[in-house]
Amino acid sequence: MQGSVSATPRIGAAQATHRRATLAVFTYVVLLGLGIAFAYPFLWTVGTSLKTQQETYAFPPSLLPAVPQWGNYAEAWAAHPVGRWILNSVIVVLGALPGGIITATLVAYSFARFDYPGRDVFFMVVLGTMMLPFEVTLIPQYLLFHRLGWVDTYLPLVVPSWAGGGAFAIFLLRQFFMTIPREFDDAALLDGANSLQVLWWIIVPLSRPALVALFILGFLGHWNDFLGPLVYLNKMGMFTIAVGLRFFQHFPEVIAKMEHLLMAVTVMMSLPSIVLFFVGQRFFVKGIVLSGLKL
């Protein structure tokens, strides 16, 4: 009797382990299927970029080319100002991204660490601006920048980032800063540090995951921005890669053989974003997760 009683927990534990293993296998199979489904458009883009014109229109279509045509990338690069468009995008990113991170850090630090009249009201107003789509403020902004003489320059794409960094960036950093114990601030203040020194030597080093996440999101936002450059830039030589990719379709000499070259440029545009995300993936996930722990 004692043997049967002692065997019962072991059987129950084995069944629980088997259920957990089955659930884990099922979960991984579902995630793998979803991953393939989401990655398939990009895989199709890469495959099409390496096809010939005839393979692009072949039926039934194939995911991979019979013989990869690596020359498609060189042809697309040489025939059109792709290099100039990429350089323009780099200029916009380098001009706007530091301003967004720096100013968002300062504003978020104010909301997270200082007590002053109307602080919570101001924070709610900042969050309220997230409800306004870019298209709502587009016309007033365009009229303002037109009167300033900034149209056909990169200033409308760069300067606004130096005015707070955006509501989402402020919210993200503010939430992360609030997870850092105030005792660190108090210890630094007792040692003679001022508020900016506390921010630079204490808060910023501890907030690396959130800052990396903000850097990645900011890079993707500026790199892939289409509407802003489309509205403010009129000269083809000033186009960013997002706008240039759209106008790539209007070159008469490639109308008949456009798709595979267009896909080649699309892959070139996507590579920096993919590499950046995989390099900073660990910090990105950590920054997003920890930022939501405390309200």
pLDDT in tens, 15-27: 777 788 888 888 9
Q: pLDDT tens digit string along 192-205?
A: 889 899 999 999 99
Coarse DSSP helix, strand, coil percentages of the chain, rounded to the nearest 5 percent:
80, 0, 20
- Does residue 165 sit in helix, strand or coil? coil
Q: Which two tokens stand for residue 181?
A: 């114990």
Minimum mean pLDDT among 153-162, 240-249, 276-285: which range? Answer: 276-285
Is the model more confident about 31 or about 278?
A: 31
76 band by pLDDT with thresholds 50, 70 and 90: confident
Mean pLDDT of the chain: 84
Q: Return the CATH class of domain 75-290.
A: mainly alpha
Question: From the centroid of its chain, how far is CA 175?
Answer: 19
Domain ranges across the chain: 2-49, 75-290
Is the pLDDT confidence value at 282 over 60? yes
Question: If pLDDT is split at 50, 70 and 90, which confidence band does 92 have?
Answer: very high
**Out of 29-43, 236-250, 254-268, least confident range:** 254-268
Rounded to whole angstroms, how far apart are CA atoms 79 and 76? 5
The closest of 44, 92, 97, 49 to 71, measured between CA atoms, is: 49
The continuous run of DSSP H or E covering 93 comes out as helix 82-113
Q: How many CB atoms sit inside 10 A of residue 107's CB?
A: 22
Residues counted in the chain: 295
Question: Do 168 and 130 meet the contact criterion of CB atoms below 8 Å apart?
Answer: yes
Instruction: Considering only residues 111 and 253, tell me which one the structure prediction assigns the higher pLDDT.
Output: 111
